[in-house]
A and B are shown apart, each in its own frame.
Chain A
Amino acid sequence: AQTVTQSQPEMSVQEAETVTLSCTYDTSESDYYLFWYKQPPSRQMILVIRQEAYKQQNATENRFSVNFQKAAKSFSLKISDSQLGDAAMYFCATFGNEKLTFGTGTRLTIIP
């Protein structure tokens, strides 16, 4: 079984600043993947970044990076130089046993 917890229902950040979204998870799988997805008002799910659990190196994608702490089962997302287009719901997810399990999401607001 897998569970994903996002303890921040809402976050806000000033444009151009940095924000970190928290995520903790639990899984019985030894081989799993972790994802952050973005869901803008259009409701289209967009992959932001992925991390293979067997890799120790934290994934980065341009302004997006993760802090993966496997022992602590923590997978936070850092957004640098926040832009207005980053405003959306952000979902943390684990993939294991052929299933994606999502957290409850964090609504990110960008303050101009």
Chain B
Amino acid sequence: GAVVSQHPSWVICKSGTSVKIECRSLDFQATTMFWYRQFPKQSLMLMATSNEGSKATYEQGVEKDKFLINHASLTLSTLTVTSAHPEDSSFYICSARDRGGANNEQFFGPGTRLTVL
């Protein structure tokens, strides 16, 4: 089946630094990737939709200058949290839609736990 990987699986950083999270579709091409944030014991909230070769579309309330998204190829999207602060600590999950798939199914990565000290 379709596999999506994320790297790193967890990261700890100091306040003010930037962190990059990678999302890769391993066995399919993904024209669209999605980035979600999940706070403890809460649901997944869509942050942005990333289309290969074009600018990401951000959800209301998500700062595009803080959460930089790049989708340079059909198998890779990156999320960079710039100048991270403790309130950015969360679980970040990406998903990818199979370019050749049906039923609008999204395949999810295993997530990245970000802790900002």
Contacts and interface: CB of A to CB of B under 8 A. Distances in A.
Given A45-B93, A45-B95, A95-B104, A105 B110 contact: no
A91 B44 contact: yes
Interface residues of A, number: 21
Contacts of B38: 43
Contacts of A33: 103-104
Q: How large is the interface on B (under 10, 10 to 19, 20 to 34, 35 or more residues)?
A: 10 to 19
B42 interface: yes
A62 interface: no
B80 to A, nearest CB: 22
A25 interface: no
A103 B44 CA distance: 8
Contacts of B44: 45, 91, 102
Given A43-B110, A43-B111, A44-B111, A52 B103 contact: yes
B42 A47 contact: no
A76 to B, nearest CB: 18
B108 interface: yes
Interface string A28-48: 000001010100001111110
Contacts of A102: 43-45
**Ranked 4 nearest A-B pairs via Cβ:** A45-B108, A102-B43, A102-B44, A95-B104
Interface of A: 33, 35, 37, 42-47, 50, 52, 91, 95, 98-105
A91 B108 CA distance: 14
B75 to A, nearest CB: 19
B20 to A, nearest CB: 20
Contacts of B106: 95, 100
B46 A99 contact: yes
Contact of B49 (A99, A103, A105): A99
A21 to B, nearest CB: 14
Contact of A104 (B42, B93, B95): B42
Given A43-B110, A91-B44, A99-B46, A50 B91 contact: no
